[in-house]
Amino acid sequence: MTTTESYDLLVIGSGPGGYVCAIRAAQLGMKVACIEKEERLGGTCLNVGCIPSKALLESSHHYHRLTHEFESHGITASHPKINVPKMLERKDSVVKSITEGVEFLLKKNKITPIKGVGSFLSETEVKIFDGKNTKTVTAKKIVIATGSKPVELPFAPFDHQIVIDSTDALRLSSVPKHLVIVGAGVIGLELGSVWSRLGAKVTVIEFQDRILGQTDKKSALQMKKLLEKQGFEFKLSSAVKKIETLKTSAIVTFETLHKSETVTADKVLVAVGRKANTDGLDLQKAGIALNERGQVDVGENYATAKPHIFAIGDVIKGPMLAHKASDEGIALAEYLAGKYSHVNYRAIPSIVYTSPELASVGLTEEECKAKGIKIKTGEFYFKANGRAKAMGEEDGFVRMIADALTDKLLGVHIVGANASELIAEIVVAFEYGASAEDIARSIHAHPTLAESLKEAALAVDNRAIHS
């Protein structure tokens, strides 16, 4: 059965970029439809990424604190046990609640959700197949917001049992004895933290000579030391050459600078990055070609080679972050409605939700030097912060980088508890073009972790009070 429908705006993908774009466009008076091939709305982030991973990180953090930290608070518990199925059940309930919330928001804004796989028939027509029926949708404007998917090693494809991807790692029914992670990026370290806290031995094999290759070098080094303290084992400057799967385990062969080594694990998580997901879109029928990285090229206001077809989020260049995609979705919808739109890419925060967390915004010291920018830096360690001591969260620091001539903030990097929340103040500061002096002159409540931001700002001018 084939039917045809028409809309002002058709959004392909209901992740943080797609559904937010759809809602803002509907608020601005457009007739909008949103296509989603999965059973639930919300895309990777809400279903098998950001939200479920944070739910498991929270559960595993509670267990780790109970078994390693509570005794110093005068709290003891006899024989604590891990109930992994219960953790997964809670994680799934969180996901269900949030995805149902997205469904409600689309309904509230009179957006038509269309379940099925969307593929272009022409520049203005998209075919949707739901497994049984096919319909054709036409639209004045079309947005590609199909997100990304895990990169697969060509010599070790996912079998989703032993060689697993990030989605698989969120639904393991028991704690692995030994989890080997290929890749020391955000996803690998976060998921490694979940299972390490619950008792797994975690070995991370990384091709580069450092973890978190895109972050501030000193902050990444601090994070490595803290994770090693928690039991992580890192094999850096190491290239995985072979993964041989057995019945219940795998043998991973990797080469270092000097020799070849092997390690045996019951689970191997391949977390070497993500790539744009354009599978099945038939973009060529719309006259759109992918670039050498498999991304959709866009110009001003996210327009593709076809001015009425747009792309946002993980399918285009830039960091693969949910909040980046959402802001692009809002900016695009407002542009389509004839309003001013803008995304400040200089002020997009990035977070690693390990414990402690690592949050950054702006340039790293290495990037500043590469650009020839003269800088001055200030650091303040949480061990000198009263609230951090009271919480028992003394690990980490705040690094503040400012222009040596103008004092304008260029980059801020936080390793510590609640760094993901603390960075919000700095993002606002970046939006207003603030200087380190602006942060230093702002009164921060005592006792709070946020006082460390003020102290780091003072340290930029060598006048920190508590260090």
10 Å CB burial of residue 108 (0-12, 13-18, 19+) is exposed
Q: Is 446 a catalytic residue?
A: yes
The single residue of 68, 342, 446, 466 carrying the catalytic annotation is: 446
Catalytic residue list: 446
